[in-house]
Structure 1
């Protein structure tokens, strides 16, 4: 037990240490808002897409194809958390439908890029990369489409221009472009070599530390702003209920062990910053979503450690 805990600490501590470093440098003014914007744009627009492309192009895909139980287990947990988050917002806190959707989205949508990629790659290595990036490929599109339909469709019916705008946003998402390019390279049998490989290796190596520093800077921007009780409910649904449901389902549905572990770990990630951005877009649930992002990220240091213990990560 102690040896396993020590092994997990070597995975978790550096990750959250870099997040903390980013937060402190922002609090002290050593790095400014301009640095936060630039670093986040670099991570999201270049470094992580290159990491994903390189990993998928070089990865060994499972011979039997993608296990269907993997998708069912993860998204069942995500949408149960989403639904309960909406229900709590409506019945416990008396919020509007739009704000309830924001609460639900925050409860089911994980921070994949800034926390999920560093932690899961550290914990499961190259074997965990394929299920991780395949899940990232569909996670944001599915969750955003559902949230948009639930919000706009309830008001006036989802418009054609609204759907077209959402489709364009997702189609040009740099993370998804990295996944598409990596998948095409894998199907074509192309593996970068020579100077190109060295360049991609250097960019990919910068993705994880820059993502973590960027998250720390973002946490200073999205502090706990009040509306604390809803934020606690959202955090509990995201960090405890979502991974618990997935953990139960991965033991009932067929999939390779590493895929099962990645699904649970992915579900255990804190609320994504996209929840706050969605709240800003609809001018509803801004305080609750910002508080949930910060609170869940801070508490995930403890909860992720517990989930890694349960999963037997060493």
Structure 2
């Protein structure tokens, strides 16, 4: 248990510091602009490049792992989408954001730092693959469904070009692609470049978590939506459980890869869900509340997932 406390203390400490900073400094949300720019365009891309570039290329081409993980995540998406459309009788746009609230975890900001701290450098490859490919697919699915719903008035060609641009030019995906290239050609990085990348990468986890906490603290909880009753357990409990079972059923994956995917699936709803909702005017306030509540609840649920992983209580082989 002491190991779990040691893993969670840096993150819980940053949460406390972020909350105190908000209450003392009284800064507005706009004050985070340049910090978020640094995180998205410098620190996290440096971390992804560092992780991927040092990995043997054969480990980076595990298409079976990528497809299986995405299939498990989109089972959750489809479940919540159908609940929103047919049980809650919501619009396609609202149902889409609800589905993302249960399937789109905070894998970019929280994922890499927590996974590497908890599982070590061996988690680097599966974490990078999950973050990049899930994000890429989310960037495609969200505008496509919103276009079908009518929330996006652009022409199909303009929409397709914008989606392609967002996917191909996203800093996370660009840095991972550069890492793939470096790994494929066994590029020997100069010492100066290695130090520069390390310097940026070390700032990724603390800066990202601090910015996330401050953003949430500055976003008031106006109301608790009824959908929270099922979205929270689906995101924090059912999502990692489905990922674990599906990856185990397919088999042939190293236990550390499965544990990495499960840990990422257990993370709370990503702040990008609110951004998408705000962009299309769908389920905005409720998305904000969902992010805040799942993040608060994840302190307990992620701790439980870490305990199951580190204690060996999570079976390495579920199916004989």
Residue deviations 1:183-242 (CA, integer Å, cap 9, x gap): 111112113222222222211111111111111111123343324322342222111111
Q: Which moved more, 1:220-229 or 1:126-135?
A: 220-229
* Residue 4 (structure 2) pairs with residue 8 (structure 1): yes
Aligned to 1:89: 84
Q: Which residue among 22, 31, 39 is the counterpart of 2:35?
A: 39
Q: Normalization by structure 2: what TM-score?
A: 0.89
* Residue 185 (structure 2) pairs with residue 188 (structure 1): yes
1:167 CA displacement: 1.1
Residues 227 and 99 (structure 1), Cα distance of their counterparts in 2 relative to 1, 3 Å cut: farther
**After the TM superposition, which residues 120-269 of structure 1 pair with which residues of structure 2 at under 5 Å, given as runs?**
120-155=115-150, 159-254=156-251, 255-269=253-267
How many Å separate the matches in 2 of 1:65 and 1:56? 11
SS of corresponding position for 2:177: helix
Say what the alpha-carbon RMSD is for the aligned residues.
Answer: 2.1
1:134 CA displacement: 1.3
Q: Which moved more, 1:220-229 or 1:269-278?
A: 220-229
Does the CA contact (< 8 Å) of 2:57 and 2:180 recur in 1? no
Q: Which moved more, 1:42-51 or 1:9-18?
A: 9-18
Q: Which moved more, 1:285-294 or 1:10-19?
A: 10-19
* Residue 116 (structure 2) pairs with residue 109 (structure 1): no
SS of corresponding position for 1:143: helix
Greater RCO, CA 8 A, separation 6+:
1
Does the CA contact (< 8 Å) of 2:59 and 2:125 recur in 1? no
Residues 313 and 65 (structure 1), Cα distance of their counterparts in 2 relative to 1, 3 Å cut: farther
SS of corresponding position for 2:203: helix
Q: Which moved more, 1:282-291 or 1:186-195?
A: 186-195
Residues 154 and 35 (structure 1), Cα distance of their counterparts in 2 relative to 1, 3 Å cut: closer
Aligned to 2:13: 17
Residue deviations 1:137-168 (CA, integer Å, cap 9, x gap): 21111122122222212448971211111111
SS of corresponding position for 1:270: coil
Spell out structure 1 runs of 4+ moving beyond 6 A: none
* Residue 294 (structure 2) pairs with residue 300 (structure 1): no
How many Å separate the matches in 1 of 2:28 and 2:96? 32
